[in-house]
Amino acid sequence: MTRCEICGRRVGGEEGLMHHMEKEHSDPGYDCRRCGLVFSSMEEMRTHLQGSHRYDG
């Protein structure tokens, strides 16, 4: 049995581990709803919104 090293959950083999990592531990970050760009922090996204889209919502 393969175990996830991050959360310790048991997964079915290497393929299962890959799916598990993608689903549970991938970090999509914050994405701009207007253009789809992804930022690693809320602050970065806010700056982007103010600079590129004029946050008027």
Report the interface residues with Zn ion, using CB under 5 A.
4, 6-7, 9, 24, 32, 34-35
Question: Least distance to Zn ion from the beta carbon of 4, Å?
Answer: 3
Question: Least distance to Zn ion from the beta carbon of 32, Å?
Answer: 3
Residue among 19 and 34 whose Cβ is closer to Zn ion:
34
Question: Least distance to Zn ion from the beta carbon of 46, Å?
Answer: 11
Instruction: Count CB neighbours of 57 within 10 A.
Output: 7
In whole angstroms, give the CA distance from residue 49 to residue 10.
Answer: 40
Contact (CB, 8 A) for 17 and 1: no
